[in-house]
Amino acid sequence: MKTNTLLKQIRQEHASAFTHSGKFHADDVFSAALLLYLNPEITITRGNKVPEDFEGIVFDIGRGQYDHHQKDSRIRENGVAYAALGLLWEALGAEILGEELAQKFDEAFVQPLDNNDNTGEKNELAALIGNFNPTWDASGSNDEAFFQAVSVAGMILENKFERYLGNERADRRVEEILEAHERALQSGEKKENEAKILILPEFVPCQKRLSETEIAFVIFPSNRGGYCIQPQKKEYSLNYKCSFPSEWLGLENEELQKETGLVSAGFCHKGGFLLTTGTLEDAVKACEISLAEYREEPVLVNFGGGAVADKLLGKLPGLQTARIIHMDYAELPELELQGIYGEVVMEKQEWKAFVKTQVKQILKYKPEAVYVADHMFAGYPVVHALRKKHIPVLTMVEKDGQKLLVRIPSGS
């Protein structure tokens, strides 16, 4: 069934669809929500067997095009098997988001749910949807619970689609603003010292895009009046390209005005991620003062490594002046031994707290990157936690007889 044929079938008058009854999962719930998003009037029926005379759309049952329980069910090129949601999204996604965004949505949203359905891999959204199932000893049909879950899934889908389309609009708008900023610099309309200051006509989500540029501060109109200033983070880093002077942090009104010398200064967050002024002129001046006074002190953490790692860390591009902080692995916790086999004598929450403490000690230095030495037991839990926070994690490899530092890719 071709994409346009399926969409036509979904949107036709008196359209119908059929899926399995009994316990439901995120796969069939979001599949139903997707059909209802495209046609709120479509009738979705559940049952143990597809009626022989049924002419509507069948999904997650029946061994057809939009089922995945047969032995020869399809698998994506990256190895993630399709579930019903993925099969329907493959046919319909481009109609909703366009080809490029539909692929991104598949990777970020659909594939984790497909994978959960096919393998049981933990997924918080799938667990939330699964919790709509009635308890084991509840009586009667669970169809009402199914459609309650579908209603929630529909709201999630609608919000997600709006977010993806909104981000695409924001990306286009940011590119327009950046091009205008560059033209103003080249023409002399903007001074050279304003190259790292981007003024937005209106607030536009842009931090991810600007992390790839030299822009250090963004100024935009506040919905409370006046202007907001946000420092921009470096790519793959917790740290800003430039920070407000530490003396400004946590001050407001008269105290901030006295410290900055800016008559319309309003508020500087103690976390350093926001400063407000009453005028655009003062907003620009606040950025210029910060840029002039800022002295970068990059830090790298060597977690469990020695002198060889230090030597390599000292050669990292752009970080040759970084201060290297050494942290030892935590002592091996108490083990329960059975011959040569051991297990940690800790409850799950104790273990999580044990790892969290180590990560917290690392993050207090706000490192540009963390090198983790080759020690699977001590290193893996910390690496996993750091990657979830998008902290660059480095490890040592050897290629052609040369030792190298390699960043573990995002998503690993």
CA 365/CA 362 separation, integer angstroms: 6
* Best CA proximity match to 374, nearest among 311, 324, 323, 308: 308
Predicted structure pTM score: 0.79
Q: What is the pLDDT along the chain (412 residues), one digit of tens a residue?
A: 444 789 999 999 999 999 999 999 999 999 999 999 999 999 999 999 999 999 999 999 999 999 999 998 999 999 999 999 999 999 999 999 999 999 999 999 999 999 999 999 999 999 999 999 999 998 878 999 999 999 999 999 999 999 999 999 999 999 999 999 999 999 999 888 899 999 999 999 999 899 999 999 999 999 999 999 999 998 878 889 999 999 999 999 999 999 999 999 999 999 999 999 999 999 999 999 999 999 988 999 999 999 999 999 999 998 999 999 999 999 999 999 999 999 999 999 999 999 999 999 999 999 999 999 988 999 999 999 998 888 899 999 999 999 999 998 866 5
Give φ, ψ of 71 to 5 degrees.
-60, -35
What tokens were used for 198? 């981007």
Domains in the chain with CATH codes: 5-166 (no CATH), 191-293 (no CATH), 299-407 (3.40.50)
Give φ, ψ of 38 to 5 degrees.
-80, -25
